[in-house]
Amino acid sequence: MSESEAFAKTQFRLSGHLFFIVFGIMFIAIETLLGQLFYLTLERGILLILGLGIALTAIALFARRLVDAVLGRCGMMMPTIVLWMYPLATLALTWLLSWVLLKVVPDIAGRGCWTGLLRLNAKTVTGAFNGPFLSFFLVILAWTLVEAWRYLRWSIGWADFVTQLSAEGGLPPVEVMAQRRERQREIEADREKARHWNRWATLAVFAGMIGAFVWITFFRPELILYYRGMAQLRTFQKPEAALAAFEQLIRKYPDYRYADSVKYYIAWVEERRLNRFADAARSYEVYLREYGSDNVWADDVLANLVRLSLDKLNDPAAALRWTAEYRRTFPEGIMAPHVALYEIRALMALGRTDEARTALAAARSRFGATDVIIYDSEDDYAGRIPFEAAAAALGL
């Protein structure tokens, strides 16, 4: 076994326990920076994060075995090849995992499966997935940089060279220099042997990037419109520009796979950013007629209609209609505690106090031992309070 092959076998070697610990530290750091540590306080949220952490750790270990098997069979166990093949193999396996979780599973169990399982709204569930994957990518990036530095130190070999020269009773300097020259010749020969693979890998990565750019630009331009609109929303400026991007997407590409999400955001922008409450209510109603209740956003849409009718349109009768529709459609929906509280408020607004007390008693029997998750105006998680505390604030 050559020295290069021996070094290559030491690259990207961490035990599963140690990798999981490093991943956990990175995740906590990322979530702290993003202000999303609340996921660790949610029972189902932390179970999802632990599950993803274990799966990603398994991918990191399996990718190394896969690289060893491929390069061992080809007789190309070289450090420079391992440096690019391991990260690429890891990214490919991670993409496969995300495809299974976010495409295959929703196609089989329904697009609302993750929101129903975690009992959180769609935006919060998206963040629960983003955190572990982002942390994993950063760990792999940092690990690759560390391994690149290790390779540079090893290939130059100054530390060993100086140690041999300064060792008492060691080889004469002339022999040390001869050994160093021979070692460098072997490393250079192995590097030349790996150069063919490295060039093809560079070409493949470059061609893949160009191909992805061409594919998105000419064959999936709707993605550009979608992310343009989402990026505009993140700036909190000119929401009409985001609305225009979404509306243009629907006009030009009505068969877009995620047209339901785009139409939801059209109504959402009208409501939350433009304060066009009547238009937003109509858009939500059209959405329900078009997509029905078997949709990832349907729970949010009905809850938004309840809130809009009561708080923005001052129409408690309409709010009661929508609360009844919500109960019929989503008896165990993620927004059920919120809708129950809105129903009580709507009854109070209509002067039907006895019915409000009856509804409150029924709500307490259903949700009295649970927490109400609070979302802000951007639908981001803002905290949770006991249902009893929220009910007491009604003053009944």
pLDDT in tens, 323-378: 999 999 998 889 999 999 999 999 999 999 999 999 999 999 999 888 899 998 88
Decide if pLDDT at 91 tops 60.
yes
> What CA–CA distance (Å, rounded) separates 396 from 353?
8
- In the three-class reduction of DSSP (H, G, I as helix; E, B as strand; rest coil), residue 255 is classed as coil
Q: Give the pLDDT of residue 155.
A: 78
Q: What is the mean pLDDT of residues 238-257?
A: 94
> What CA–CA distance (Å, rounded) separates 61 from 19?
9
Decide if pLDDT at 36 tops 80.
yes
The answer to whether 298 and 115 have CB atoms below 8 angstroms apart is no
- The DSSP 8-state label assigned to residue 215 in this structure reads I
Q: What is the mean pLDDT of residues 106-110?
A: 87
DSSP letter for each residue of 135-185: HHHHHHHHHHHHHHHHHHHHHH-HHHHHHHHH-TT---HHHHHHHHHHHHH
> What CA–CA distance (Å, rounded) separates 101 from 95?
10
The CA-based angle 134-135-141, given to 5 degrees, is 90
The answer to whether 122 and 261 have CB atoms below 8 angstroms apart is no
Q: Give the pLDDT of residue 151.
A: 87
> What CA–CA distance (Å, rounded) separates 266 from 120?
21
pLDDT tens-place string over residues 289-337: 999 888 889 999 999 999 999 999 999 999 999 999 999 999 888 999 9
Q: What is the mean pLDDT of residues 101-116?
A: 88
Q: What is the mean pLDDT of residues 186-198?
A: 75
Longest dimension (CA), the chain: 101
The answer to whether 8 and 70 have CB atoms below 8 angstroms apart is no
Q: Give the pLDDT of residue 159.
A: 47
Q: Give the pLDDT of residue 170.
A: 53
> What CA–CA distance (Å, rounded) separates 125 from 156?
48
pLDDT tens-place string over residues 6-25: 888 999 999 999 999 999 99
Q: Give the pLDDT of residue 176.
A: 54
> Which two three-digit tokens encode residue 327?
């109960």
> What CA–CA distance (Å, rounded) separates 392 from 396?
7
pTM of the complete model:
0.84
Domain map (residue ranges) of the chain: 3-156, 221-392
The answer to whether 266 and 247 have CB atoms below 8 angstroms apart is yes
Lowest mean pLDDT among 92-96, 113-117, 282-286, 358-362: 113-117
User: Which CATH class name applies to 221-392?
Assistant: mainly alpha
Mean pLDDT of the chain: 88
Tell me which residue has tokens 């940089």: 145
Decide if pLDDT at 163 tops 60.
no
- The DSSP 8-state label assigned to residue 169 in this structure reads T
> What CA–CA distance (Å, rounded) separates 253 from 259?
8
pLDDT band at 89; cut points 50, 70, 90: very high
> What CA–CA distance (Å, rounded) separates 42 from 118?
9
Decide if pLDDT at 280 tops 90.
yes
Residue type, 128: A
